[in-house]
């Protein structure tokens, strides 16, 4: 693998991930639609900021996208600047989409890029901002075996556990299903807290008990006391992005004809929270929206 790495999307996750690539000794070129983010990154790290996707494409042998949605990834590659990025990439270049994108859209994008001689791998991540910073993300990789082998050394700077989960799109399917479970556990923990509190239980005591019992989950162990009860609401993962992930999972089930009632319910709950609070609010504050529902009487 030769040449610079182009990194698109210097947000909550992209910023620390790109920093780890620089630390790993790679020449990194960064771009963000908010140009001050790319410039700020280049000021702080040994990296080059560019103001156009065409420039990034000309300089990079490998491109990483860390954008909000698969729609944004498609736009960056094929639509913005008249599709300059895909046009400027040399045949044989590899695009690694590390965003949590829709797996069906990823397969379509893969076909369109392949027609231009560009290879696509999906490699979404889990672990949040904390593990993005220390380079210990879990990464779920989909694509053809040869391309995956070629990108593993790059991914190794950002993640500790690299899972190969099948062909293109499987990484994104895996990711939305993981986040569907995480979101469902969070919604259930928040609901249990609401009921318990109303009955007279102390929420802090509740989560001491739950964390020593079978109801424990990532949400109960890492979110309920630290982010919700403390009202810190500062995980760095927005409710809009989690609502998007749960929708991808529920829609995927519908697209392939699998009955998934919990997916539908969780999709509705997080859509409601995102609409009520605003998509840019922290996902742990979803409880504030659900609390507004008040009590059902009678």
The DSSP element (H or E) to which 233 belongs, if any, is none
Q: Binding of ligand NAD at residue 9 (CB under 6 A)?
A: yes
Among 3, 4, 24, 33, binds ligand NAD (CB under 6 A): 33
Residues that contact ligand NAD, how many (by CB under 6 A)? 27
How far is Cα 179 from Cα 106, in angstroms, rounded to an integer?
18
> At its nearest, how many Å lie between ligand NAD and the CB of residue 141?
14
- Closest to ligand NAD by CB, 13 vs 206, is 13
Concatenating the DSSP letter of every residue in 176-188 gives HHHHHHHHHHHHH
Which residues are registered as beta bridge partners of 282? 238
- Closest to ligand NAD by CB, 82 vs 92, is 82
Q: Has 175 been annotated as catalytic?
A: yes
What is the x/- site pattern for ligand NAD, positions 49-88, by CB under 6 A? -----------------xxx---x--xx------------
Q: Binding of ligand NAD at residue 113 (CB under 6 A)?
A: no
Per annotation, catalytic residue among 175, 197, 225, 292: 175
Which residue, among 232, 237, 261, has the nearest Cα to 249 in the 3D structure? 261
How far is Cα 55 from Cα 84, in angstroms, rounded to an integer?
9
Q: The tokens of 245 are what?
A: 């992930």
> At its nearest, how many Å lie between ligand NAD and the CB of residue 200?
34
Q: Which residues contact 123 (CB under 8 A, 6 or more apart)?
A: 96, 97, 98, 139, 140, 141, 142, 151, 155, 171
> At its nearest, how many Å lie between ligand NAD and the CB of residue 14?
5
- Closest to ligand NAD by CB, 32 vs 122, is 32
> At its nearest, how many Å lie between ligand NAD and the CB of residue 70?
8
**Three-state SS at 175:** helix
- Closest to ligand NAD by CB, 120 vs 192, is 120
- Closest to ligand NAD by CB, 137 vs 193, is 137
How far is Cα 103 from Cα 168, in angstroms, rounded to an integer?
8
Rounded to a whole number of angstroms, the CA Rg of the chain reads 20
Q: Binding of ligand NAD at residue 129 (CB under 6 A)?
A: yes
Q: Binding of ligand NAD at residue 100 (CB under 6 A)?
A: yes
Where do the DSSP E strands lie in the chain?
4-8, 28-31, 48-49, 60-65, 94-97, 119-122, 125-126, 137-142, 159-166
Q: Binding of ligand NAD at residue 11 (CB under 6 A)?
A: yes
Footprint on residues 244-273 left by ligand NAD (CB under 6 A): 245
> At its nearest, how many Å lie between ligand NAD and the CB of residue 208?
26
How far is Cα 172 from Cα 130, in angstroms, rounded to an integer?
21
How far is Cα 168 from Cα 106, in angstroms, rounded to an integer?
7
Report the residue closest to ligand NAD, judged by CB: 11
Q: Binding of ligand NAD at residue 236 (CB under 6 A)?
A: yes
**Three-state SS at 4:** strand
Among 37, 119, 247, 267, binds ligand NAD (CB under 6 A): 37
Residues annotated catalytic, as ranges: 175
The residues of the shown chain that bind ligand NAD, judged by CB under 6 A, are 8-14, 32-34, 37, 66-68, 72, 75-76, 99-100, 125-126, 128-129, 236-237, 241, 245
């Amino acid at each position: 693998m030769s040449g610079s790495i182009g990194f698109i999307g210097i947000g909550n996750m992209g910023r620390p991930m790109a920093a780890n690539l620089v630390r790993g000794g790679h020449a990194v070129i960064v771009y963000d639609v908010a140009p001050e983010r790319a410039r700020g990154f280049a000021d702080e790290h040994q990296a080059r900021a560019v103001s156009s996707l065409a420039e990034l494409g000309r300089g990079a042998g490998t491109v990483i996208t860390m954008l909000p949605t698969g729609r944004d990834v498609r736009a960056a590659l094929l639509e913005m600047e008249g599709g300059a990025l895909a046009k400027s990439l040399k045949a044989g270049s590899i695009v690694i989409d590390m965003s949590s994108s829709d797996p069906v859209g990823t397969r379509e994008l893969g076909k369109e890029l392949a027609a231009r001689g560009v290879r696509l791998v999906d490699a979404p991540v889990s672990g949040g901002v904390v593990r993005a910073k220390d380079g210990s993300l879990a990464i779920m990789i989909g694509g053809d075996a040869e391309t995956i082998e070629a990108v593993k050394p790059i991914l190794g700077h950002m993640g500790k556990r690299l899972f190969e989960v099948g062909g293109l799109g499987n990484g994104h399917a895996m990711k939305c299903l993981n986040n569907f479970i995480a979101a469902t556990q969070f919604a259930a923990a928040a609901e249990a807290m609401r009921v318990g509190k109303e009955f007279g239980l102390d929420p802090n005591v509740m989560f001491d008990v739950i964390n020593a019992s079978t109801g424990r989950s990532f949400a109960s162990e890492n979110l309920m006391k630290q982010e919700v009860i403390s009202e810190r609401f500062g995980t760095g993962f927005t409710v809009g992005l989690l609502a998007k992930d749960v929708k991808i999972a529920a829609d995927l089930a519908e697209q392939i004809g699998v009955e998934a009632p919990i997916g539908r319910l969780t999709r509705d709950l997080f859509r409601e929270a995102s609409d009520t609070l605003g998509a840019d609010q922290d996902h742990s504050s979803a409880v504030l929206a659900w609390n507004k529902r008040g009590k059902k009487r009678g």
